[in-house]
Amino acid sequence: MTDLRFKRDDVLKRLRDKIARKEAILVCGAGAGLIARLEDQSGADIIVVYSSGHYRISGHPAIAGNLPLGDSNQIVYDMGKNDILPMVRDTPVAAGVYGLDVTRDLGRFMEQLGELGYSGVISFPTVAKFSGDMRRELESVGLGFQREVDMLALARQKGFFTMSYCYSPEEARRLAAVGTDIIISHCGLTTGGDVGAREQAPLDLAAERTQAILSVALEEHPGVIPLCHGGSIATPEDAAYVIGHSCAKGFVGASSVERLPVERAIKETVAAYRAIRLA
């Protein structure tokens, strides 16, 4: 496999050095080249590319990335090749790989991602988003969470740094057991804006959920880098609260970085232009 643009050990060392300096980690989602370029220039620690970013930047709810609306892995390949990776110079980029994809040899696919310039893999979309009958039926036919865990283990063997969202303490334990480098407590669809969730649990409950998930990951694998994401964590102040009230060492911002600020900025700018009056 071609050498990755950023080596796993170097990425993890840089993150741990920041934590040692009491600086929070920031991972940013990017659904377009402009967004990626600005995140790169602004000092994001990692940029993540996944199908939800494609839908989000096209004006749709990010949760569309979890639905059978397109070929998620092909979307990530094309976005990286054509839009994101050419814009990024100094930041490691992780690809959202759908571990349940039965149409691909994922080992070969990861090699193709590495050749493009991706340096990390995050498990997304994820079956962990589902529950009830749908989840039970997927698990019963071998299309369950373990396939995603195995995919991350394969990605690590290929030299990628690995990341995963996590919705429960049990999932956290399984992810940590295979050496997943970065585990992210997921508190649900981000609130706010035109297509965000209308309601989510308040910040104190988000912090409790984050602590419950990430503490288990750290018990299983103390070397895990624990981060938080989603739900009511929608601003820097929200992220600071949850980080301050849990064992999270940073934040993953997707809608909160590339959608909500853009919605506000464009609406305010258009309003300012519309306010111009003729003499």
Checking if the pLDDT of 221 tops 80, the result is: yes
Residue 66 pLDDT level (bands cut at 50, 70, 90): confident
pLDDT at 36: 97
Neighbours of 32 (CB within 10 A): 19
Mean pLDDT in the chain? 94
Helix H or strand E encompassing 167: none
- Residues 42-51, mean pLDDT to the nearest whole number: 97
pLDDT at 3: 81
Q: How far apart are CA 137 and CA 140, in angstroms?
A: 5
- Residues 163-179, mean pLDDT to the nearest whole number: 96
pLDDT 10s digits, 27-46: 999 999 999 999 999 999 99
pLDDT at 276: 97
Q: Which residues are paired to 163 by β-bridges?
A: 122, 182
What's the one-letter identity of residue 85? L
Answer with the residue of higher pLDDT: 196 or 249: 249
Checking if the pLDDT of 2 tops 70, the result is: no
Checking if the pLDDT of 1 tops 90, the result is: no
Checking if the pLDDT of 192 tops 70, the result is: yes
Question: How much of the chain, in percent, has pLDDT values that exceed 70?
Answer: 98
Which among 91, 135, 97, 251 has a CA at the least distance from the CA of 187?
Answer: 251
- Residues 124-130, mean pLDDT to the nearest whole number: 90
Which among 142, 144, 184, 146 has a CA at the least distance from the CA of 162?
Answer: 184
Question: How much of the chain, in percent, has pLDDT values that exceed 90?
Answer: 83
pTM: 0.93
- Residues 11-18, mean pLDDT to the nearest whole number: 98
Which phi and psi angles does 12 have, rounded to 5°?
-65, -40
